[in-house]
Amino acid sequence: MDTKTIKIYDTTLRDGSQAEEIAFTVEDKLRIAHKLDDNGIHYIEGGWPGSNPKDVEFFEKIKKESFQQAKLVAFGSTRSPKHKAENDPNLKCLLQAETPVVTIFGKSWDMHVKEALSTNLDENLRMVSDSLSFLKKYVKEVMFDAEHFFDGYKKNPEYALKVLKEAESAGADWLVLCDTNGGTMPWEIKTIFEEVRKVCKTPLGIHTHNDSELGVANALTAVEAGAGQVQGTINGYGERCGNCNLVSVVPNLKLKMGMDCISNAQMKGLKDLSAFVDELANKAHWNHQPYVGKSAFAHKGGIHVSAMQKNRETYEHIDPSHVGNQTRILVSDLSGKSNILEKAKEFGMDIDSKDPKIQEVLDQLKESEKLGFQYEGAEASFELLMRDALGEREQHFEFIGFRVIVEKRQEDEAPLAEASVKIRVNGVQEVTAAEGHGPVNALDKAIRKALTKFYPELEEVSLFDYKVRILDEKSGTTAKIRVLVESGDHESKWGTVGVSEDIIEASWQALIDSILYKLSAVPKDKTTLA
């Protein structure tokens, strides 16, 4: 019997960004899209074209990007009751995005039609039909998200099914049933899905929210009842209590239900993907997150540890390596070498598994993490750390010192920032100064100015993003700060990190790593290395 393949549809960049305290930059969204593609996600919903300037810019930039296998999706709504489909601004923006897939949502709950749309039930049916028929003329694959479907079905099943049938007749390639308010129980999902399958032949998908702590459970129940697509977000980001967490859905589908979705190799990247998105969202990682959290396979109790040393299965429901995680014995912290070897292989380093330098890398990594360094989203810095420990890092220049001055002359004027840098290259000392918009920008300009005459390739490097996180909030103004910098050239992008009680020092560390990474003879065959 053939294994059923479930399509994974990610909406982190749209639905996930609606979460409180989440604000992705355009560059963040581009990096996450490529990371999702690397990890085998089938559909990547990029946003709502025309709804805001950020999404407009994203869809313009993404046209120049290429993906291995993922299909980019533009999201929007059915036409307005006031417009014909061909004149509807929202539908026009969807076509202008030029994505291979378009998803539109429509109302399937009669209460929403009357109160939210302020129109009648028949007009809503026409809105669904007109919009899908119009889009199908220009777009190869069009999905229909039946918003509030389960609540609508429970109140008026006849009308909710009419909406689906209308979408099916208009040519929708997928009908996605949405538990928009997140209040449906698993047994209700199962029963309603089975009823829909009796009347609709179009492939079905599921879109759940986590308001009842059932987002993942409801999605898996829908798959069991016939859904061929699961929509969700990385780490369950989303409005209110969040969306279905794809990081949990994928291993549950593959390891617990025997269904195919992404490859085994791609599933090993789940932990890294989860941490990567957290870092770009500027959020602390959830240590106790199932499957990928730092504590997901951590063992502290004496009886547990004793049993684990005899047989891992005594206290672990899966082999953690399947999702890129590892067993941690907290009393002795026995783990890590395999991760170092895997990273070395990824970076093109030929290291014997018995080489004592591996332990040196591991010790240096642990020491750095104690200081507050995190290398998820900053793998360029981690590669430099590894090369340094292995004696493979080149000394491109000698640092002598830097100085940053910030001056505010009048109350109604912005502060002026000036940085000076003193370095030595091949015995030649160079002192340069530059002004910038803030101390970090000035420092970045001064470093480049000092080094470009020796290394003209640095002219290709641009600073794309800059993030700051306070690591110990209770320490107030003496708290340690972690700075994450994203840089890139015309071939690739990379992330670097710095940590200090001083934001300028932390920024300097990250900026210097960025430059050293560019100057190092490292492979740059990936669009996103961090």
The pLDDT value given to residue 527? 32
* Residue 37 CA, distance from chain mean position: 10
Mapping DSSP onto H, E and C, the string for 380-428 reads HHHHHHHHHHCCCCCCCCEEEEEEEEEECCCCCCCCEEEEEEEEEECCE
Six token digits for residue 357: 């330098």
Q: What's the token pair of residue 505?
A: 């020092």
Q: What is the pLDDT along the chain (530 residues), one digit of tens a residue?
A: 356 899 999 999 999 999 998 999 999 999 999 999 999 999 999 999 988 899 999 999 999 999 999 999 999 999 999 999 999 999 999 999 999 999 999 999 999 999 988 999 999 999 999 999 999 999 999 999 999 999 999 999 999 999 999 999 999 999 999 999 999 999 999 999 999 999 999 999 999 999 999 999 999 999 999 999 999 999 999 999 999 999 999 999 999 999 999 999 999 999 999 999 999 998 888 989 999 998 888 776 656 656 666 667 677 899 999 999 988 765 333 345 666 776 777 777 777 777 787 788 878 877 887 888 878 778 888 888 888 877 877 888 998 999 999 988 888 888 889 999 999 998 899 999 999 888 888 999 999 899 998 999 999 888 888 889 888 767 776 789 999 999 988 888 898 999 999 999 999 999 999 999 999 854 443 333 33
* 341-396+461-530 and 397-454 in the same fold: yes
Contact yes or no for 111/101 (Cβ under 8 A): no
Q: Which residues pair with 76 in a beta bridge?
A: 104
pLDDT of residue 43: 98
Local structure of residue 253 (DSSP, 8 states): I
DSSP summary character for residue 293: S
Of all helices (H) and strands (E), which one includes residue 443? helix 439-452
The C-alpha atoms of residue 502 and residue 480 are separated, in whole angstroms, by 7
CATH superfamily of 7-262: Aldolase class I (3.20.20.70)
Which uninterrupted H or E stretch holds 132?
A: helix 121-136
To the nearest 10 degrees (0 to 180), the angle between helices 121-136 and 89-96 is 20
Domain 341-396+461-530 has CATH 3.30.160.340: yes
CATH fold of 397-454, please? Answer: Double Stranded RNA Binding Domain (3.30.160)
Pair type for strands 416-425 and 398-407: antiparallel
Instruction: Output the pLDDT for position 337.
Output: 65
Report pTM.
0.73
The reported pLDDT for the residue numbered 304 is 60
Q: Supply φ then ψ for residue 451, to 5 degrees.
A: -100, -20
Which pLDDT belongs to residue 316? 83
Indicate the domain borders of the chain: 7-262, 341-396+461-530, 397-454
Say which residues have a Cβ less than 8 Å from residue 150's Cβ, sequence separation at least 6: 177, 178, 179, 184, 188, 189, 192
CA separation for the pair 62, 45 (Å, rounded): 12
**Residue 512, CB half-sphere, CA atoms under 13 Å: how many?**
18
